Every structure is written in structure tokens, then in C-alpha cells.
Chains A and B, each alone.
Chain A
């Protein structure tokens, strides 16, 4: 009897010792961060380093040899490649136009939602839908809406007399780019809307009351109170969106596969075409890495801005 009590006492004290040791900040902190770091290393850092290595080799798919190290030959070759040149212009056009409209319309959505007092949760829930539905699914829906034969958009526009002839949404370079951008914007607005709404609601009400006392107009309240205080959230959300939109794949893959005549190819879809379909892993990796410097610049700019705010 006394023996067991002794043992359990010993055990307890060992456990306590361990938990005391574990509770120190220098141990507990790293221990808690470790799983996240491990995942990042395995799933992000490792593939990223492999991609950099691949982009400097002429590795082909399904070959046992690791390819020859060719320094930057893939990159210099891409600069001369007509499809790649076109893709670069497309990607910038696609990302910048889409993010701009997502930001403006998302802000508008947030401002309106902030004013809605009845069925608040219902409206918020329903407006979040485009963002929740899997992209490939909604893109398939849009494929029907843009269908040259059965386009419901054309039907409305014709009925309302806005156009005289069917628009071939996915058949000309300009309309095809517009179409894929439209889907991206439609899908991305709720992300901006809901995030900015959260930002709006964290703005202290007193500031508006003070502005009211000073007799500020709605516009002046927006410009002098809402806008500056919403800036940090906006910066973060825009950063995320730029990163995501530059790397977009599904919408273009489902709607046009990069056509007509490569006018909607993005870096990601061209990467798939080059690496998976044509089997040029090295060159494909080089295409995908072209996104990297752009994204680094975006991240640095935004982080700097946020630091300044602090």
C-alpha cells in the first residue's frame, strides 16, 4: 500500500517536472509552432526548392535522368516564345483588372451590408455563396452561360435590345478575356466584401458620432474616417487576392483551356500545358516561377505598408 502511494507520488512529481519544463516559453513556443513549420517545410519549401532546381534543368517528364543543368536557358528561351509573351500580358491583364474590380465592388458590398439591419445573417450568408462554391463547379455553370448557342446572357441582352447580334463570349480574344475575368470577379467579391465588413465593424462608433457633431457629410465621413481606418484590412486582403489571382488556374482551364489562340492562357494553365501535356518539366517549372518575383514584390510592398501602420 505504502509502496504504491510512493510510486504514484514519484510519478506525479515526474509529470509535474515535465510539465514545468514544458511550460517554459522557450520550450512551449517552438513546440507549438513546430507542426506548422514542418508542414510549411514539407509542402511549401521543399516543392519550391525542387521547382527552382527543375527550372534550371532540361528535365523531361517520365525520364529517369535528372536532366542537364542549364542555368537560365529555360527563362531566356521563354522570353522569345510567342505563347509565353502572350501569357505574360494575359496574366497581368487578368490579375490587375480582376483585383481592381473585386476591391471596388467588394468595398461596395461591405458598405451596403453594414447598413443592412434586417435578415442580416441571411444576406451575409447568401452573398458569400460564390466564394464557397467550388471554383470548377461554378466555372462549369458559367461555361453554359457563355455557351455560344444557349447563352442566357445573350438571351437577356438580345431581349432587352442591348445587342443586335449574339456575342461569342469565348470565341474572340477580347470577349474571352472579359469572360474569364468576369467569373473571377464574381467569385472574388465576397472575399473582399466579408473581410472589409469585419474591418468596418471594428471602427469605433464614437469617431462617426464625433464626425456627426462636426457636421461631416457622408462622403467626408467615408473619406476621413472609414477609408483610412479600413486601409490595413484592405492591404492584407488585396495582397491575398493578388497572390491568388496571379496563380489562378481553374476558371481558364474549364472555360477556354487558354484559347482562342492562347489569348486567355495564364502562367498556371501554361505551366500545366508545358509540364504535364507536353512533358517539359523544366520549362514548365520556369513558367510557374515567373510568378514568383511578382508575388515577392507584392508581398514586400504590403508588409512594408503594414509595418508603417504599426
Chain B
């Protein structure tokens, strides 16, 4: 125990890299949960109240443990190595611990594993190439509704998913939308990258918004007040930002009661009064936003917020996380009117996506683990994916990701050590999974929904109106033609 305390101290003092820390802690017999807890609380400028938990702190369900041991006990074999390509999370400590968990599993089962962590945009090309050529890694993390795209070439993961669903209260609707094709699970749900609106609590308070806005209309009012007061404006991405752009624009569309397709999955419904209302709203919102939001990619809003140039944007928890990890400062005046620097993360809050006339419906930023049927190691891959999604392995991975990843299984979100339960500021991210859907919603034609999404139809419809490149009517007409092509197939 003393040894572990020493290690923790050395990590806190910056004398030990996180990776070495994890390795050494494992050598002392510490559980991954305990390590994750320490990592989460050891980021500089810690605002988290989470204490390093004792290894016994997790109330593990007995069946779960039994099942886990069973998986371990079964002798597994692989041809060559079990290779996997995973999406890089924006919290480096999360990637590091995930690698350790996988390697640890490999060592326990005597299976050589190779984990590669790559950016989300590369994953899609890797998966497409693998699907078409029939060669590539055993496990690839794919995004959104890609399972529908690659359906014919994917191995059936129903056994894994049914088992996990039975043990952990089932999966969220969006996970089923993304991974279940014709009644079969073709990919194992992995995580949501949950979104909320990151905002500056101090600036919102200055314009009288003590409580965060609950509706889109209230958000506009705050944005207007901020602009009139000459404070940093609110800013939401309208460029080809794969995550943030789609997330925001689909959410605005759906929560106004509009959709691109009817429940039948064929009839294009974009030409509606609701779409016009959504577009008119965005036009107004854009008038209180900086115009460069038209060029925002996924990183632009993070940078602008961290530079105190904007006061609110939609994002995963990474803005707050980066501000905290890097000790980012913002300038303000103290009581005597003297300029001082303070910690940005302290005035960075989150609120759930506002409600529209149709309530709160959000876009799911979603990842799942696919195994292509060309793989010669399907059984080992199934065992590993089961293992990774069990509570014992989920908690130590989710915890240090500080809200960037959200489990797809309903039964674990209330666990004591989930970041939204240890850190009040992350609580709004908890709602995202239950209100989220995939492009193609409200139908089940996610194959065509993915096609429309890949073409940026919805984002571009909003952007062209906001940027003055098209009238509302023209934008709808263009979108309609493109959507009709998408939903024809």
C-alpha cells in the first residue's frame, strides 16, 4: 500500500509519466479502477472531489464477476496477433489506460494483442478499405451508422451484445439504431461522445442568466444580450465539422419537430413548416454569433473558447477538461478594477442542449466496435469486447476520460465512480444518451440516413442560409433533392 502511495505522489509531482505510473501500479496488484480514480484526480488544478478509491470500492455484481472469470478461464487462441484500431479520445489519460486494460487482458489470456489508437477520420477510411478488400485489423471502431454501411461484411456480435444487455439493463436506443441491422447486432456499442453546451458561467451571469437557458429561444436571448453588452459571443459550428457540426445542426432540426425523412424511411419530409421554423431560428441565432462559425471544424470552437473569444459552444467535455489539464487562464478585473488572471475551468460550466417546440432530441455522436467476418480471430475478439464492456473495465476507462466517453449500457451510468457522479460540472452529460438518435431518425433507414449525413445535407442547409448563400426556400429545395437521392436507395 505504501508503495502505491509513493507512486501516486511521484505522479502528482510530475516525476512519473502516466504510462509508467499505470504499469507500476498494476505491478503492485492495484486494480484498474483504483488507477483510473487516481488518474482522474491527479490532473493539475484539480477541481474534482473524487478521491482515489480503494480497490474494493466497486460494488461488482456477482454474476458479472462469475461471467468475467469464465471468459478468462476459457482457453482462447488466435492466429498471429489480435489487432485492433481504436478511436483516439481527446483525453490522453483515457487512451493510455485503455491500452493497458487491453494488454492486461492479452497477458492474462496469453494472447498477443496489438492496439493502435488513430483519429476518427482515419478510422472510416481504414474500415471502408477493410470491408472492400477483406483484410485488415480484427477489431475496428466505426462511427455513427457505419454498421449499416458495412453490414454484409460484419461478423454477428449478437451473442456478445445480448449477454451484455442482459447483465447491464440493456443498451440505449441510439446504440440499437447504430448497431442492430435487421434484428442482428453487427457491431458492439462502445461509447457516446456526449455533448452539452459548454458556457462561461461568469459572462452569462453578467447578462442576467443566473440559470442556464432551457429552450433554444432562451439561448438566443442570452446570445443577444451578450452581443449587445460587447461580451464574448456564443458560437456554434456551421462548417464541415464531423462531430460538432452534425451534432448541433441535427439537434436543432429535430428538436424543432422537423426531420429529413418520415418514419417509413422513404418519404423525404424536409420541406415542412417545422424545417422553416428551425432555419428561421438559426438565422436569428447566427445574427448573434461570430461569422467565422461557418469555417469551424471540430477543434475551432475548443480553441476559441480556451482563448476566451467565445462564451458558449456545443462540445464534449473536452474544453473544460483541457482548461483544467493545462491550467488555462482568463483575464478579468478584481474588486479594485485591477486586471487579474484566473483559472478558466472554474468559470466553465455545462448545460444540456436546450429544448425546442418538440422537446429535446439530440444527435448521437457514437462509436462501436466492429469485427469484420474476414477476421480469423472472431472468438477472441468477442471475448475481448465482452471483457472491455464489463463494469470492471468500463469504470477505470470511463472515469479518467472525464466525460468524453459515455457508456452505451444503461446499467452503469449510476456507478459511484462515473465522472458525472463524482464531478458536479459533468452532470449535464448524463442526459445525452437517452435523448439521442442517429441520422435517419425517426425512421429505421439508417443506411440512407448515413448517406445523407456523409453528404453534409443538414449542416449545409443551415450553413447556406446563415451564410447568405441561399434563401430558406432555396436551401430546402437543394436539401430535398439531395435527400431524395439518399433515401431512394
Contacts and interface: CB of A to CB of B under 8 A. Distances in A.
A193 to B, nearest CB: 31
A188 interface: no
Contacts of B296: 148
Of the listed residues A61, A81, A150, A173, the one surrounded by the most CB atoms of chain B closer than 10 A to its CB is: A61
B451 A279 contact: yes
Interface string A95-125: 0000000000000000000000000000000
Interface string A137-167: 0000000001111100000000000000010
Interface residues of B, number: 44
Contact of B460 (A77, A147, A172, A262): A262
Of the listed residues B295, B304, B469, the one surrounded by the most CB atoms of chain A closer than 10 A to its CB is: B295
B132 A258 contact: no
Q: 7 nearest interchain CB pairs? A: A148-B292, A171-B295, A62-B131, A259-B240, A170-B295, A277-B454, A171-B294
24 contacts: A60-B489, A61-B128, A61-B131, A61-B149, A62-B128, A62-B132, A62-B149, A64-B152, A147-B300, A148-B290, A148-B292, A150-B307, A171-B293, A171-B294, A172-B294, A257-B240, A258-B456, A260-B469, A262-B456, A276-B124, A276-B128, A277-B124, A277-B128, A279-B450
B239 A259 contact: yes
A261 B464 contact: yes
Contacts of B297: 257
Contact of A62 (B150, B307, B450): B150
Nearest to A80: B481
Contacts of B239: 170-171, 256-257, 259-260
Contacts of A278: 450-451, 454-455, 486
Contact of B307 (A61, A149, A173, A263): A149
B291 interface: yes
A279 B149 contact: yes
Contact of A171 (B242, B303, B467): B467
A280 B128 CA distance: 11
Interface string A259-275: 11111000000001101
B178 to A, nearest CB: 15
Interface of B: 124-125, 128, 131-132, 149-153, 238-240, 242, 290-297, 300, 303-304, 307, 309, 450-451, 454-456, 460, 463-464, 467, 469-470, 478, 481-482, 485-486, 489
B322 to A, nearest CB: 15
Interface residues of A, number: 39
A63 B152 contact: yes
Contacts of B152: 62-64
Given A256-B239, A261-B470, A278-B454, 11 more contacts: A61-B150, A62-B150, A149-B292, A168-B294, A168-B295, A169-B295, A171-B239, A259-B294, A260-B463, A262-B460, A273-B455
A280 B451 contact: yes
A176 interface: yes
Contact of B238 (A60, A260, A275): A260
B463 A259 contact: yes
B391 to A, nearest CB: 33
A172 B485 CA distance: 27
Given A149-B303, A257-B240, A276-B125, A62 B151 contact: yes
Contact of A258 (B240, B291, B464, B486): B240
A308 B450 CA distance: 53
A260 B150 CA distance: 29
A82 B450 CA distance: 19
Interface in A62-107: 62-64, 77, 81-83
Contacts of B460: 259, 261-262
Tell me what chain A mostly uses at the interface: helix, strand, loop, or mixed: loop
Nearest to B478: A82
Of the listed residues B125, B456, B464, B469, the one surrounded by the most CB atoms of chain A closer than 10 A to its CB is: B456
B28 to A, nearest CB: 41
A35 B7 CA distance: 59
B300 A149 contact: yes
B134 to A, nearest CB: 10
Contacts of A280: 451
A88 to B, nearest CB: 16
A278 to B, nearest CB: 4
A178 to B, nearest CB: 13
Of the listed residues B149, B303, B478, B481, the one surrounded by the most CB atoms of chain A closer than 10 A to its CB is: B149
B303 A150 contact: yes
A166 B464 CA distance: 21
A261 B458 CA distance: 10
A261 B463 contact: yes
A67 B481 CA distance: 24
B481 A149 contact: no
Contacts of A257: 239-240, 242, 297
A38 to B, nearest CB: 21
Interface in A40-62: 60-62
A259 B151 contact: no
A139 to B, nearest CB: 13
Nearest to A77: B485
A257 to B, nearest CB: 4
Interface in A235-270: 256-263
A69 to B, nearest CB: 17
